[in-house]
């Protein structure tokens, strides 16, 4: 029984889709950037980057852009930008506005686009498609009570 569990665990680890992150803390003079690559399957890869616009270490509000670059078979098919403004004070955080842009390439289009904000979160979602291929895309940003956006 232990051998079967060990073999199943090894196969699960080998065939799992990896998620790689590369995040660093913001430099007081540099925009905050958080990069990650999330592989959806063997043909679709989405790369994320979070950048703060006009960072100010003493401010209690910040505007942040999350860029998602969607690549299908190594070709960029969409660039989605979710822009949100957050307020925080050390005990609470709230999202005060959000907007999004979808730029499509290589014959891809989008439909059912939605951008929302509430509490300390901003979200956007849409159906991206080309012919019979489609992706139900969504992404979000959350702000902590200390102003860390992820």
CB neighbours of residue 134 within 10 Å:
14
User: What does the pLDDT look like over 7-37, one tens digit per residue?
Assistant: 444 433 433 344 333 333 333 333 334 445 5
**Sheet-wide strand order for 33-39:** 19-23, 33-39, 44-53, 61-72, 75-88, 93-104
Task: Write down the pLDDT at residue 126.
Answer: 95
Burial class (CB in 10 A: 0-12, 13-18, 19+), 42: exposed
User: What does the pLDDT look like over 59-105, one tens digit per residue?
Assistant: 899 999 999 999 988 899 999 999 999 999 999 999 999 999 999 99
User: What does the pLDDT look like over 116-145, one tens digit per residue?
Assistant: 999 999 999 999 999 888 888 999 999 999
Comparing C-alpha atoms, which of 22, 76, 29 is closest to residue 50? 22
Give pTM, 2 decimals: 0.73
């Amino acid at each position: 029984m232990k051998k079967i569990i060990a073999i199943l665990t090894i196969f699960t680890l080998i065939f799992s889709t990896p998620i790689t992150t590369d995040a660093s803390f913001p430099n007081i003079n540099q925009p905050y950037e958080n990069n990650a690559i999330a592989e959806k399957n063997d043909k679709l890869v989405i790369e994320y980057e979070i950048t703060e616009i006009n960072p100010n270490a003493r401010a209690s509000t910040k505007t942040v852009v999350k860029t998602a670059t969607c690549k299908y078979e190594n070709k960029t098919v969409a660039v989605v930008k979710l822009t949100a403004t957050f307020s925080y004070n050390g005990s609470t955080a709230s999202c005060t506005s959000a907007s999004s842009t979808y730029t499509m390439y290589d014959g891809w289009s989008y439909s059912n686009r939605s951008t929302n904000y509430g509490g300390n979160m901003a979200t956007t979602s849409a159906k991206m498609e080309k012919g019979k291929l489609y992706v139900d895309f969504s992404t979000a940003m959350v702000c902590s009570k200390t102003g860390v956006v992820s």
